[in-house]
Amino acid sequence: MFASYPSDNSSMKISESPQIAPPPTLNVALQRTALVSLVALFILCLLWEIWLAPLRPGGTLLFLKALPLAFAIRGVSKGSLYTIQWSSMLVLVYLMEGVVRAMSDPPGPSILMAWLEIVLSSVFFFAALFYVRPAKRYAKLLKVQAEADERSAQQVQAPTTDRKLDQA
């Protein structure tokens, strides 16, 4: 005759935030691909400007263009998301240089070096992009969840302050 209700009020909860999935596991194969292509690009830049096809016989100081890549090698080898992100932007400079030199250098080994630079920088860029992608999505999910939690906390606080004003 009478309906029975649960005594613990478990069905009466206002809003329960959903559980967030655990942090994503990052693809080690992509990290290694990025590392190998970065080291190969570093070595290519050194050899290209010192020995294989320098702009002037005997080499130039243009081999110093490889120095920024050296700063990224340690972080990429450790899988640092921050390092992989900034080095993926840095490698675009090498991609542009490869395209310019492939189109403007006189026929010879320099054009082959430029095409190798284009391939290696592209491989690094895409490996880095796909390596970082799950972590970026997870960070975005955490941000959305934090904003939702903040809004729900504000909504819970707002009615209690309205009651206090009504009582005064």
Higher pLDDT, 80 or 158: 80
Give the model's confidence band at 160: pLDDT under 50 very low, under 70 low, under 90 confident, else very high. Answer: low
Q: What angle do CA 119, 123, 124 make, to 5 degrees?
A: 120
**What is the rounded average pLDDT for all residues in the chain?**
86
pLDDT value at residue 122: 98
Tell me the C-alpha distance between 16 and 51, whole Å.
Answer: 65
How distant is the alpha carbon of residue 57 from its chain centre?
A: 39
Tell me the C-alpha distance between 138 and 129, whole Å.
Answer: 15
Are 76 and 87 contacting, i.e. CB atoms less than 8 angstroms apart?
A: yes
Q: Which two tokens stand for residue 137?
A: 């999505």
- φ, ψ of residue 26 to 5 degrees: the values are -90, 145
Half-sphere exposure in the Cβ direction for 67 (13 Å, CA): 5
pTM comes to 0.77
Are 40 and 27 contacting, i.e. CB atoms less than 8 angstroms apart?
A: no
9: phi > 0 → left, psi -120 to 50 → alpha, else beta; which?
left
